Amino acid sequence: MMLDKQKEGGVMQGYHKELSEKEVKEFVNERFQDVKNNKKIKELVTFQGMNKYLIMVHNQEQLRVLGRIVASNKKIKLAEILIDYENNLRLALQSKPTIKTHSNVLLHIFGFFSNEFCDLEKNKFFELLKDYKNEKITIGKILAEVHPIIYRFNKTYLASQTYFLLYANPEKGDVFKILEENKIKN
């Protein structure tokens, strides 16, 4: 399936307006400000968990650094942790996501389903990934297809990821839904 696309500021535009990286950063930074204002380590732990794949798509090394900062909560005062975390979060978000980094995140997400997918579903996932890498579809389109699977297999950890919220096409995906219906019929 070919996609009518235009390059605008280096970001592929598809059948809907995808969020700009500026909008993604603003959203994440606003959520982090809420964490800072709450001044509770539990809030920071939740923030880190919800933003894992979003941070990973920007900078995988910084994701590890941020994880270590959160884990240091028994040794360092929360106020210092929040300052350190904020500085490293900004560093992470400075890196622009690429097709390669999105593909890496998609493969991590695929790992949640790989044992539950039939061969046809695995093939369809890798076909979609190939189309994304070849810029035939947007990241929003492939995430729209993957997102419903989260609920089908009850992967609540993935359901909470801001990565889907900020990058998925708001149109409902249906490729895997069709495959599931075909499995039921057969």
> Amino acid identity of 69?
I
Q: What angle do CA 43, 38, 51 make, to 5 degrees?
A: 35
Q: Give 173-179's long-range contacts (Cβ < 8 A, gap of 24+).
A: 173/141, 173/143, 173/144, 173/145, 173/146, 173/147, 173/148, 174/145, 174/148, 175/124, 175/128, 175/145, 176/121, 176/124, 176/145, 176/146, 176/148, 176/149, 176/152, 177/148, 179/118, 179/120, 179/121, 179/124
State yes or no: pLDDT of 92 exceeds 50: yes
Tokens 């059948």 found at: 15
What's the rounded mean pLDDT across residues 32-53?
96
Question: Between the CA atoms of 119, 125, 129 and 135, what dihedral angle is there, to the nearest 10 degrees?
Answer: 120
In sequence order, the 6+-apart residues with CB closer than 8 A to the CB of 167 are 18, 19, 24, 54, 57, 102, 139, 140, 143
More confident residue, 184 or 61: 61
What's the rounded mean pLDDT across residues 157-166?
89
pLDDT band at 12 (very low <50, low <70, confident <90, very high): very low
> Amino acid identity of 151?
Y
pLDDT band at 5 (very low <50, low <70, confident <90, very high): very low
Q: What pLDDT is stored for residue 66 in this prediction?
A: 98
Residue-wise pLDDT for 14-41, tens only, equals 434 567 889 999 999 999 999 999 999 9
Tokens 């307006």 found at: 17
Q: What pLDDT is stored for residue 3 in this prediction?
A: 31
Q: What is the mean pLDDT of the chain?
A: 84
- Is 118:66 a contact under the CB 8 Å cutoff? no
Q: What pLDDT is stored for residue 6 in this prediction?
A: 37
DSSP-H helix ranges across 8-138? 21-38, 41-50, 52-58, 60-71, 78-94, 99-110, 119-133
State yes or no: pLDDT of 13 exceeds 70: no
State yes or no: pLDDT of 88 exceeds 70: yes
pTM of the model: 0.81
Paired with 7 in beta bridges are 12
